[in-house]
Each structure stands twice: as structure tokens, then as C-alpha cells.
Amino acid sequence: MKAPRRYAAGMAAVATTAAGLLAATGLGAGVASARGIPAFVGPLHHVTTLASTVPANGDVNPYGVAVIPRSTGHLRRDNILVSNFNNKANVQGTGTTIVQITPIGSGFAEHLDPAALVIGPTGVGLSRNGTPYVADTVANRIAAIPHAVFRVSSAGRGFTVSRGGALNGPLGLVVAPGGDIRTVNSGNGNLVEVTPFGLQVAVRALDVSGSPPGAGALFGLAVKPNHRAVYFVDDATNTFELLH
């Protein structure tokens, strides 16, 4: 159910080992940043499983996560949508469902495509000032696209907000209300919080299964509305979780 271990193991060597990093920086304790503002995930130390992400047709491998902003039809405000990437047989790229609590979408077009295993920029989040942040997985960095609202030409690869350190093949990404960026690693089971100025201010281990621990388990995440908490999906267990 996880991403291929050959990729996860390769990405595990991209960044400094988690143990050395935590010992050197104290990030695991959720210390306050140099700005004097505590990290969003600073007081969050508990993970609770909220639900399975496997619908009636057996689709697995949860990827994308989104909070429903307003009720419409069968969608209910503040419920969560999760997309499944694989089918019941765990074939990559053949999942066809989006789940709320029960499946709300099915029958999407599907085809087997080796390109589904190509690794590139993955997560994206938009700040309140209109700056898009991108999880540049291969380059092991968080990038930003300047002046996106008024841009009439490509910014290329943007500029680097943060690279290396606790980052280990970042995948999912979300921007919290205070402006900090949260991303989850493909090379291990860690969530990393980064300020818009590039300071890595907190690390949380969300999954430690497998070898390397947590590799390939984390993908989509979202901030719980009006709460200091983070939703995320665990691909190793096909579950929807809450960091609180």
C-alpha cells in the first residue's frame, strides 16, 4: 500500500538522518522559531486514527486530502475528501474513488500508466498573501513562486524557501493560518514545519513503520478548520488521522 520501497529508500539518503538532525537542532521538541512565535505543531504530540479510507470497492493508497469549505449537495462543510490512488489489487494509479465518509465519487476515467511513478513536484499550498509554495520532491526543497497573482510569465522553478535539513523528499504540503508551511516526507514518516523565511521550526514523527521507518507512508494533509490540529492520511494503514 505504500509507495515503492526502492524510491523511499533512495530518498532516505537525500537529507540528514532524523536522529542527527533532532539532536543537533532540538526540532523534535517543537521549539519556538527565531521570530518568537511558537511553531503551529509545537504543542501537537498525539495522533488519533479517525477513519478508514477504504471505500466499498476496496480502493487503497490514500493521496490527496481537502477540507470541504461549504455544504453543497452530498458534501458537508468541514468534512474531508480523500482520493485513493490504487485499486483493490493495489495496482498503481488505478484507484477511482473520492471518499467523504462513504464514497461520493466513482467511475472516473482510468488507465495503467507507468508515468504515474514519475516523481516530480507534488504538494502545493497558497498563502494568504497569494504566494504559492511547492513541495519540490526531487530537489528536496520547498519552493515559492513570487508575484503569482500578477505574473504573466513563468517563474521557472521559483526560489528556494528551505532545502535539506529535516526535509526528506517532501510530498504533501499545506499552509497554516499563521503562514507557516507544513509538509510531509516521502523518505521517512515525518511532518516538517517551515516558516516563510525558510526556518525549520518543528518536526513530528507521524509514522514509524517499515524500513526506513515511515518511508512512503505520508501524502496528503490539511489543517483542521478552527482548530490547532492537522489532518493527514497514512498510506501504510489506509487510514485518516489527526495530529493534535
Give the count of beta carbons closer than 10 Å to the beta carbon of residue 164. 15
- Asked if 21 contacts 185 with a C-beta cutoff of 8 angstroms, the reply is no
C-alpha to C-alpha distance for 170 and 190, rounded to whole angstroms = 9
- Asked if 176 contacts 223 with a C-beta cutoff of 8 angstroms, the reply is yes
pLDDT in tens, 19-58: 344 444 444 444 444 556 789 998 999 999 888 899 889 9
What is the total count of domains within the chain? Answer: 1
pLDDT in tens, 183-238: 999 999 999 999 999 999 999 999 999 889 999 999 999 999 999 999 999 999 99
Residues 6+ apart with CB under 8 A from 164: 14, 15, 16, 140, 141
DSSP one-letter code for 8:
H
Q: What domain range includes position 195?
A: 5-57+119-243
Confirm whether 154 is domain-assigned: yes
Identity of the amino acid at 136: D
pLDDT in tens, 133-171: 999 998 999 999 988 888 888 888 889 999 999 999 999
* Type and span of the H or E element at 7: helix 5-12
Domain at 21, CATH number: 2.40.10.500
Q: What is this structure's pTM?
A: 0.77
Confirm whether 79 is domain-assigned: no
Confirm whether 103 is domain-assigned: no
